[in-house]
Structures are given as structure tokens and as C-alpha cells.
Amino acid sequence: MANKIASADETDLFPPADERLHLQIFNEAGIMQQPSGHLSVPAGATENHPVCSAETPPQPEQPVKTSARVKKNKPHYSGHRQRLRERFNNHGDDVLADYELLELLLFRTIARADTKPLAKALLNRFGSFAGVLGAEPQLLREVAGCGEAVAQDIKLLNACARRSGKSEIMKKDVLDSWSKVIAYCMTSMAYENREQFRILFLDKKNRLIADEIQQIGTVDHTPVYPREVIKRALELSSTALILFHNHPSGDATPSRADIDMTKVIISIASPLNIAVHDHIIIGKAGHISMRGLGLI
């Protein structure tokens, strides 16, 4: 009997054969037997996360910092458009620099981009806000970032400014609105790259009845035909004229040819009781009146 009975220590080390079979099945299934005799899934094991070995304990999941990534990718000009609009709405255009006012215009055409570089490039190329508005479309398109749509919007704004100025002097005594007449012609002619000869035809009360460009010449010369000027005045029943032409060079000083041509027109108009009130020369920086210089 003594040979068949194992000691307690020996029993612990060598369990019966049927128990060893059960342990083998449990181990192959990944299930451990608890000391109490109950079966359980190993700690930390789930359907999607297998048990980690003792050498590599499970690590806690780190939260994904999405807000940091969004902030990193946020453009530097984010919110700039809204702030600029609010400044304009609350305080008007006087608080805005020229490039900022031009940016507001560009917002309408360029939906999602920083428009400040283009606004500054346009001002650098053409010298001033008025220069940008008066520039020819093909010259506008030469500036990087200024496409067909942008050039069209700029010229549309320039056309609106001319139309607004003209409405201020139509059917009014232009001699009583002289500053508005000058402002209108400056807007219309100062930045043209070829000489234009323009005539304002007035009635007996010096009200504007027609505004016409009679000739367009080259960069430094415009042919003017005095008899054609007077012929058109008679067709419109005009009794007074104001002559304008521009100097694309920017210098509004009248040339000898300008003075002689004006005197010829006056000599033809005077016997027909058609007055020539003045001949204004427009430059980029201002204007000169021949009557103010005592030349007529």
C-alpha cells in the first residue's frame, strides 16, 4: 500500500491523468483555471485584443490630438476676410489702406485664397488705386494671379465710377459744378495709354447735352479736325464747348500744337456764336486749364 499511495507533495506535482487532460484542453483554448476551480478569460483579453505576454504588458491608448492637427493646417490668413469686412461695415473706407480696399473687391472673384499679395502687386505695378482701375485689361492680366475674371471686375468698377461721375453733371450747369466736371474727366481719361480728344457739348444754359470722344490717337499725338468739331456742335444745337484731352506721359503741360489747335477751333466757332469755355489737359497727377493760363 505504501508503494501505491503518493505523498501530498508528489500529488501536487503530478496531478491525475484526467486532470492533466483538462488542463491541456484549457491551455490550448487560451483559458486559465483559477484557484477556486472556476474558468475565466485571461485578464485584458477581448475579441479584438489578444492577451499580451508578461514581457510586453498592454499599453493604454493615447488620445488622438485632432485639434492640434487642425490648428497646424489652418492658413495664416484665416478670419482675415471677415475682419476686413467688419472694419469696412463699421467704419467705412477711410480706415482702410488702398490695398485693403482692393482686397475687398478681389474677395468677390477669388473665393478661397489670400488676396493681399495680388492687391499689393497691382498697386506696385500701376502706382495707385486710380492707376489700377484705369489700367488696360491686357496689362492687368500681365500681373501674376490676375486672370480674366479679376480684370473684368476691375474694369467694371472703373465703368461704374465713370457713370457715377457723369450722372453728377448731366443736365446741370457745368460751370456751377466745375470740380465735378474735372473729377469726371480725370476718372475717364487720366490713365488712358493713348491720347483722346473729348468734347463736352453744352446748351444755352451751359447744361451738358452730350459727352463724346472725337478722336483717339497714339501715345503722344491725337489728330483733331476743327471743322468736324464745329459740325458736330451744330448737329447737336450746342452753343458752348469744353475741350479735353489727355497726355499719357503724365505731364499736363500744353504743347505748342495744343495751343494752336485750340485757337483754330475758337476762330471757327466764334462767328457761329459757339463759345469755347476752356481746353483742359489731363495728366495722371492733375490737370491744366488753358483759360487759367491765359492762353485763350
Segment 69-78 mean pLDDT: 58
Q: In terms of Cα–Cα distance, which of 276, 208, 194, 215 is closest to 236?
A: 208
CB 153, CB 108: distance < 8 Å: yes
All cell numbers assigned to 164: 457715377
pLDDT at residue 165, rounded to an integer: 86
**Helical segments of the chain, H only:** 8-13, 17-28, 66-73, 80-91, 98-107, 116-126, 129-134, 137-140, 148-167, 178-189, 226-235, 256-269
> pTM score, two decimals?
0.63
**Helical segments of 190-285, H only:** 226-235, 256-269
β-partners of residue 178 are none
Segment 94-104 mean pLDDT: 91
pLDDT at residue 44, rounded to an integer: 53
All cell numbers assigned to 206: 451751359
Q: In terms of Cα–Cα distance, which of 231, 170, 232, 256 is closest to 206?
A: 170
**CA 287 centroid distance within chain:** 30
Q: How confident is the model at residue 5 (pLDDT cuts 50, 70, 90)?
A: very low
Burial class, 100, CB count within 10 angstroms (exposed 0-12 / middle 13-18 / buried 19+):
middle
CB 184, CB 162: distance < 8 Å: yes
Q: What is the DSSP letter of 254?
A: P
pLDDT at residue 140, rounded to an integer: 94
User: How many percent of the chain have pLDDT more than 90?
Assistant: 48
pLDDT at residue 196, rounded to an integer: 94
Task: State the Cα–Cα distance between residues 168 and 162, nearest whole angstrom.
Answer: 10
Q: What is the 3-state secondary structure (H, E, C) of 123-153?
A: HHHHCCHHHHHHCCHHHHCCCCCCCHHHHHH
Task: State the Cα–Cα distance between residues 228 and 217, nearest whole angstrom.
Answer: 16
Q: What is the DSSP letter of 283?
A: E
Task: State the Cα–Cα distance between residues 217 and 205, nearest whole angstrom.
Answer: 32
User: How many percent of the chain have pLDDT more than 70?
Assistant: 74
Task: State the Cα–Cα distance between residues 287 and 278, nearest whole angstrom.
Answer: 12
Is 95 or 27 the better-scoring residue by pLDDT? 95
A 10 A CB-CB count for 175 gives: 15
pLDDT at residue 73, rounded to an integer: 62
pLDDT at residue 209, rounded to an integer: 92
Is 13 or 279 the better-scoring residue by pLDDT? 279
Give residue-wise pLDDT tens across range 132-163: 998 899 999 999 999 999 999 999 999 998 88
Give residue-wise pLDDT tens across range 222-277: 899 999 999 999 999 999 999 999 999 888 999 999 999 999 999 999 999 999 99
